[in-house]
Structure 1
């Protein structure tokens, strides 16, 4: 006999102390899965430093309008979004949990947070060669706005395009 849940046990909530481990794991796994950054960049990541930065962002946001949100599947953190005034700084979902609505829930919660903080637009950045993210952003109503930036990773340069929309 199959077990069915009357409601899905999925949600989004503000990150709390202790979530930094899962957030870091999600970020590294998602970046690795895209293949866009390359294994050299992934191998060069300072994971303990990343974890410490997420811990600080969660427990001591740098100012008003900054927040980290996590997507849950049952008790498990499967994704996260980080926001600052007017911007989704990061949005990642575990590769095995993608295409299950977590990214959409995170983006909706992030936009709700931006609106509540008075933002009239939302912007985010996407790696140029990340076709799956570009498709997700486009389906979510964002569009490339003509801006780009180059990030120096210490291994190679990485180019991102900015996406934006009115909220």
Structure 2
């Protein structure tokens, strides 16, 4: 395997980040999202703005010369950490959100996801967060298994999004931010 690493995203990464999201969703979520939603994916401008304004931490995973994945993390809005009844947990103010963590399927199972999550967790800790949350489609067993493998668990809160007229149920996962990478 070529050298693998994670680094902060720069503005010139925005187009590649958008491509990774588009290609990964078209592969991983083709059975979950309508074709017209997948066909219309292009968030290059949003990614460019996110990286440029630094309102969240954006990191990219690389292997050799290739950008193979990315992660977006930042403070969690109250709506992302609220309990099913709408109440806020005691640690709402110190909970971080992993908004997106994607590795292209062809680069999977090489540790990129773990490196991305570890980098995001470190950034969240540096912002004062004590735990993290993320939302994963319930049908995305690979992502749920990944989060479970690093000690994050579903907490019983689910939400249903309108995905182009088709409901998409997501489960919230939560866990510690003291992740350590183990080099094998």
Q: TM class by shorter-chain length?
A: 0.7 to 0.9
Alignment correspondent of 1:150: 160
Partner of 1:88: 98
Q: How does 1:49-68 map to 2 (within 5 A)?
A: 50-62=43-55, 66-68=56-58
Structure 2 residue 69 is the aligned partner of structure 1 residue 75:
no
Residues 121-164 of structure 1 show CA distances to partners (whole Å, capped at 9, x for unaligned) of 11001001001111101001100011111112224121111000
CA distance in 1, matches of 2:123, 2:134: 14
1:103-142 map, 5 Å: 103-142=113-152
Q: In the alignment, is residue 42 of structure 1 matched against residue 30 of structure 2?
A: no
Q: Per-residue CA shift, 1:18-77, capped at 9, x if unaligned? A: 1011101111111122134335231233x1xx1000000001123xxx111000111221
Note closer, same or farther for the CA distance 1:36–1:88 as it changes in structure 2 (3 Å cut): farther
| Structure 1 portions without partners, runs of 5+ | none
How far, CA to CA, are the matches of 1:151 and 1:121 in structure 2?
24
Checking the alignment, whether the CA contact within 8 Å between 2:6 and 2:59 is kept in structure 1 is yes
CA RMSD of aligned residues (A): 1.4
Secondary structure of 2:139's counterpart equals coil
Q: Is residue 34–residue 163 contact of structure 2 (8 Å, CA) maintained in 1?
A: no
